[in-house]
Chain A
Amino acid sequence: MIKEGEAQGVKPRSMSSCKPSREFNQLILEAVDEGLSILGGDPVKRAFYYHLEKRANIKRSEIPDKLEAFHDALVDLFFDGSVILERRISRHLYGRLGLELPTDNGWTIADYVREACFRYESP
């Protein structure tokens, strides 16, 4: 859960605030897979990753390293609907990490992941 005395900030963390571990990145990928389940089964998921790579040049395994581009790709594919997916993916990630999802501050998926990384990876 949230570390004691730490407020849920409205301002997102900076890019350099956290260095994610391999384990953390793996959790991001699992959360993306889970978040996509809202769209349907395997055929839709397969189509998503195909068009993600085709339109934004992002392979599934590269998502943790290209979070900003991943956000842009989601907006390209789903317009305002990307918010739903980003929030859902974030909820799964925070759930796996045992963290409480911050209130909706208009953050992108990249903001949510950096905040999670800071809280989870910081000693």
Chain B
Amino acid sequence: MAEEDVSSGLHSFGLLKDEVEVYLFLARAGSCPVGIIARRLSTNRMNIYRTLKTLGEKGLVESTVGRPSRFIALPVVNYLNRYVEESKTRTSSLEKSREEIVDYCKHLQEVKPLDEEPKFRIVQGRKHVHDQIFKMLDNARNEVALIQTRNGLYRFIYRGIDDRLKELHGKGVEVRVLTQVDESGIEAVKNYLDFAQVRQAALQSAMRLVLVDETEALTTFIRDDSMSLTTETELAMWVRAPDYAKSMKIFFETLWKDGVLMRHRIAEVEAKQMLREGLDWARRTLNADGWTTMVPGKLAGESGAEHCFDLVAKYPDERKMSIAVDSLSEHGSSQILAFSLKALDVRATVQLLVTSLPPNMEERELALHRGIKLISAGKSQQLAAKIASEANKILKASGGASVTSSS
């Protein structure tokens, strides 16, 4: 090892430049008085005394008794070993302090999140948007609120975001979802009902929202609602600003308040599905009995207006008998009023109103007054049988007919 490297090495072990020079000189020269050391190193005696004093404190030199005093270099290994041990102790202490400082700063961030500077970021591409949502969900402590389309709910399932929401629900985080689904979206929604409160809302705008703890909000605007998980047209704005997030929360709560409980919506959709199946059965049964049917169908009214019904059946002979069928999906006298007016206008021989729910007193009286028969929807084939039965009655009442197969 060259002397330059040794000098550099000793510097690394905490020795000053003068200390290194004096020590190496003494190590080479052996026992020396201060005067000689000063002359050989071209410096004054005071500097050498000062340096010898610090070297002595470090255990690297010692003086001999006599006049003049002489100084001698001690083996460096003890100093180096001691220095390494002290460094290790210092490193260990630093590590401990580091952990304590990190913990303390984390605590500061947890208890004072509102002091954070507002931040925002534009996120482009569906994959990145989903990644951002995952990050947001990592921070969720109390609640997550979503506004999402039907396809969006499916995409969340494909990307595993629903699983993350489920985990959060398991940890006590409240998850709420506002969406707008038709029959085709019911299956997706059912998946969310296990861990979230879901409501149906009339979403007028194309905006979607992810809101976490009144702290973070991510808003996106639907430019591509396809099932693609990688489209680059998706554009979102992520904001971490409590004031902004609170405003979004108010917006969400307004929609939430007017939202329909999803289990009611599902019941309504399933009732409609069953009704459609029932009307389809009825159509086939009436066709077999010689009726001409349309589902849905139109009949021209006396006023000249053309009215639409869920099912229209006409008997193709000179008696010009017709059946008009509509469905009452929920309580609402206005639907009966509308049906009664349409039926009055088209002069249907039989006016049937199929109800998914038991009609209330007001609805029954109104129907009775206008000569409307109320039929409970029930199962598909039962509904078909009831409609066919009413058709048979008028055929028989008008002198019988070519009834062939009604059940």
Contacts and interface: CB of A to CB of B under 8 A. Distances in A.
Interface of A: 38-40, 42-44, 46-51, 77-81, 84-85
A80 B362 contact: yes
Interface of B: 301-308, 333-334, 336-338, 340-342, 344-345, 362, 365-366, 369-370
Contact of B337 (A43, A46, A49, A81): A81
A47 B342 contact: yes
A38 B228 CA distance: 40
Q: Interface of chain B, helix or strand or loop or mixed?
A: helix
Contact of B305 (A47, A78, A84): A47
A42 B338 CA distance: 12
Contacts of A39: 334, 337-338, 341
Nearest to B303: A50
A38 B370 CA distance: 18
A84 B338 CA distance: 12
Nearest to A82: B337
Nearest to A79: B369
B344 A81 contact: no
Name the prevailing secondary structure of the A interface residues: helix
B342 A44 contact: yes
Contacts of B301: 43, 47, 50
3 pairs of A and B residues whose beta carbons are closest in the complex: A50-B303, A43-B305, A79-B369
Contacts of A81: 333, 336-337, 340, 362, 366
A74 B301 CA distance: 19
Contact of A47 (B303, B336, B369): B303
Query: Which of A42, A48, A78 counts the most chain B CB atoms within 10 A?
Result: A78
Given A44-B342, A51-B344, 14 more contacts: A43-B308, A47-B302, A48-B341, A49-B303, A50-B301, A50-B302, A50-B303, A51-B303, A77-B340, A78-B337, A78-B340, A81-B333, A84-B337, A85-B337
A53 to B, nearest CB: 10
A16 to B, nearest CB: 33
B330 to A, nearest CB: 14
